[in-house]
């Protein structure tokens, strides 16, 4: 839970920085070529790191089955700390890209490690996924909130350096932690109730074994689960990467001077230099609040996986996301109260689906290659899914936010249809 919170703290702090990079930088200078900084080009910079976050999950999943979760989680935390320290020292967008690559590589091993640990170490799996997801959403919400507050008083480089500290402390704790990583499997002498009906015992050692286990995964219903998580990843990254940018153009989100909000005594205590004419950007705080609502979504989604067929939950939850995506902009333009309501529903539903597809992976794969299974899952969610950020950036540069949300609704509707297909194949 601690590591999950850290991963998403850094993941969702990045879009807050994106709003600054869009205004601070004009050119991406690669030496042999130069590119103007737009939502489209900056989306490529961000997607490089986000993409590796997903692509690295596959080799990370293989490693989990061989060396266990605890070591990889500790290394993940240490690497994320180093990446944000590098980000704080970055003089240009090229070094920023390098820092995001380091973050993506380090963070990529977390989900196969953490989810494999829960699926094999926790008997009440759905509840375990729920609490684990809630911890992630605390990081998802507090990361942008903490970043936004620090940016009121500090340069973004300093804020990035400060954010490197919590992951370092968490890495020290993770390296010292001791627990039984296979408690749930050992308690039953093996898992029951999996759709696969088979159980590998030790993961993969060689390339032929890796290819054989991969083929075994993708000849069954897991291929439908993989398609669902891919759609989820495209929606997730597409809606979150530029959400602060979209919100900043809505009525009521104009920047407000700190001097106009803080009382005179507070201004005197901070000093004029501390505020320096800085502004409060309301969209950053709305964005953080939207993500914090996801805590409830994670909890409800996890509990539902213990009470209803996961396929039914996936179908209904993604259908709700499709409707909310289509309704978001029309409702948001009605005023602040409707915007708060639609934002809360979107945040809730966005994270409601996550425990459901995580549990579906556990149901449709053998425990012995669970790390590999979650590696493929997060290759889809955060690797291929990272292209959602590129899609969003391109649409916002060359089309309109309305086109973006219609595209996102298409991703969600496809996932809902695949959930129906999964239910029929199981029946």
SS (H, E, C) 353-421: HHHHHHHHHHHCCCHHHHHHHHHHHHHHHHHHHHHHHHHHHHHHHHCCHHHHHHHHHHHHHHHHHHHHH
Identify whether the C-beta of residue 317 lies closer than 8 Å to the C-beta of residue 356. Answer: yes
pLDDT at 203: 57
* pLDDT band per the 50, 70, 90 thresholds, residue 331: very high
Mean of pLDDT values over 2-18: 90
Those residues whose C-beta lies under 8 Å from the C-beta of residue 399, and which sit 6 or more positions away, are none
Q: What are phi and psi of 241, to 5 degrees?
A: -60, -40
Per the structure block, which two tokens stand in for 266? 């507070």
User: What pTM did the predictor assign?
Assistant: 0.76
Nearest to 356 by CA among 422, 309, 321: 309
Those residues whose C-beta lies under 8 Å from the C-beta of residue 143, and which sit 6 or more positions away, are 8, 9, 10, 11, 12, 13, 163
Categorise residue 255: left if φ over 0, alpha if ψ from -120 to 50, beta otherwise: beta
Instruction: State the burial class of residue 97 (Cβ atoms within 10 Å of its Cβ: 0-12, 13-18, 19+).
Output: middle
Categorise residue 257: left if φ over 0, alpha if ψ from -120 to 50, beta otherwise: beta
Q: How far is CA 216 from the centre of its chain?
A: 28
Per the structure block, which two tokens stand in for 311? 């396929």
Nearest to 48 by CA among 72, 27, 28, 25: 28
Mean of pLDDT values over 227-241: 92
Taking CA 400 as the corner, what is the angle to CA 104 and CA 36, rounded to the nearest 5 degrees?
Answer: 55
Supply the mean pLDDT for the chain: 84
3-class SS at 252?
coil
Given a cut of 70, is residue 354 above it in pLDDT? yes
Give the integer Cα–Cα distance in Å for 164 and 170: 11
Count CB-CB contacts under 10 A for residue 251: 11
Helix pair angle (222-240, 387-398), 10° resolution: 40
Please tell me the least confidently modeled range out of 102-106, 185-189, 291-295, 420-424. 185-189
Mean of pLDDT values over 208-216: 82
Given a cut of 80, is residue 259 above it in pLDDT? no
* pLDDT band per the 50, 70, 90 thresholds, residue 87: very high
Mean of pLDDT values over 191-219: 63
3-class SS at 309?
coil
List the beta bridge partners of residue 279. Answer: 257
Given a cut of 90, is residue 348 above it in pLDDT? yes
Q: What are phi and psi of 68, to 5 degrees?
A: 95, 170
**133 against 163, higher pLDDT:** 163
Give the integer Cα–Cα distance in Å for 121 and 130: 14
Per the structure block, which two tokens stand in for 255? 């920047």
**328 against 37, higher pLDDT:** 328
Mean of pLDDT values over 402-427: 92
Give the integer Cα–Cα distance in Å for 318 and 329: 18
pLDDT at 184: 66
């Amino acid at each position: 839970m601690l590591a999950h919170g850290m991963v998403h703290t850094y993941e969702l702090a990045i879009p807050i920085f994106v709003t600054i990079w869009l205004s601070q930088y004009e050119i991406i200078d690669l030496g042999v070529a130069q590119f103007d900084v737009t939502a489209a080009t900056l989306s490529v910079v961000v997607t490089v790191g986000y993409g590796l976050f997903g692509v690295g999950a596959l080799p990370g999943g293989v490693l989990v089955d061989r060396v266990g979760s605890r070591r990889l989680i500790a290394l993940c935390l240490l690497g994320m700390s180093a990446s944000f320290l590098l980000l704080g020292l970055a003089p240009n967008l090229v070094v920023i890209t390098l820092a995001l690559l380091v973050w993506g590589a380090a963070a990529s091993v977390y989900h196969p490690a953490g989810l494999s640990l829960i699926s094999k170490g926790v008997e009440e799996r759905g509840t375990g996924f729920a609490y684990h997801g809630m911890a992630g959403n605390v990081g998802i919400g507090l990361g942008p909130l903490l970043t936004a507050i620090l940016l009121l008083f500090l340069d973004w480089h300093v804020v990035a350096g400060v954010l490197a500290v919590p992951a370092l402390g968490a890495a020290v704790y993770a390296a010292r932690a001791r627990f039984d990583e296979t408690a749930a499997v050992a308690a039953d002498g093996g898992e029951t109730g999996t759709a696969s009906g088979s159980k590998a015992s030790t993961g993969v050692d060689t390339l032929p074994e890796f290819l054989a286990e991969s083929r075994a995964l993708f000849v069954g219903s897991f291929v439908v689960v993989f398609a669902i998580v891919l759609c989820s990843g495209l929606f997730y990254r597409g809606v979150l990467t530029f959400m602060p940018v979209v919100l900043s153009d809505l009525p009521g989100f104009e920047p407000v001077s700190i001097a106009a909000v803080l009382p005179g005594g507070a201004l005197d205590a901070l000093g004029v230099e501390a505020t320096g004419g800085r502004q409060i950007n309301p969209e950053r705080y709305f964005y953080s609040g939207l993500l914090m609502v996801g805590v409830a979504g994670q909890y409800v989604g996890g509990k539902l996986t213990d009470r209803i067929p996961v396929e039914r939950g996936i179908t209904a939850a993604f259908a709700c996301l499709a409707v909310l995506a289509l309704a978001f902009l029309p409702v948001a333009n009605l005023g602040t109260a409707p915007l708060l309501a639609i934002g809360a529903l979107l945040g809730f539903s966005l994270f409601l689906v996550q425990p459901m597809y995580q549990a579906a992976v556990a149901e449709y794969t053998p425990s012995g290659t669970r790390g590999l299974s979650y590696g493929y899952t997060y290759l889809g969610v955060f690797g291929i899914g990272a292209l959602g950020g590129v899609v969003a950036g391109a649409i916002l540069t060359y089309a309109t936010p309305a086109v973006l949300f219609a595209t996102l609704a298409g991703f969600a509707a496809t996932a809902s249809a695949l959930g129906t297909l999964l239910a029929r194949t199981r029946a």
